[in-house]
Amino acid sequence: MQSVGRIASNIPGSGILDVSDAMREISYIVPGMSCGQCEQAVSEEVTAVAGVQAVEVNLAAKLVTVRGEQFDDAAIRAAIEAAGYEVA
Ligand SMILES: [Cu+2]
Taken in order of first residue, the domains within the chain and their CATH numbers are 2-8+16-82 (3.30.70.100)
- Tell me: pLDDT of 17 over 70: no
Cα of 21 vs centre of ligand 1, distance in Å, is: 35
pLDDT at 52 over 90: yes
User: Is the pTM here over 0.85, yes or no?
Assistant: no
For residues 54-69, give the mean pLDDT.
Answer: 97
Sign of the Cα torsion 48, 34, 26, 19 reads: negative
Q: Are strands 23-29 and 52-58 parallel, antiparallel or unpaired?
A: unpaired
Residue type, 39: E
- Gap from CA of 20 to ligand 1 centroid (Å): 35
CB-based contact 80:42 (threshold 8 Å): yes
pLDDT at 15 over 50: no
pLDDT of residue 1: 44
- Tell me, in angstroms, the distance from the centre of ligand 1 to residue 31's CA: 11
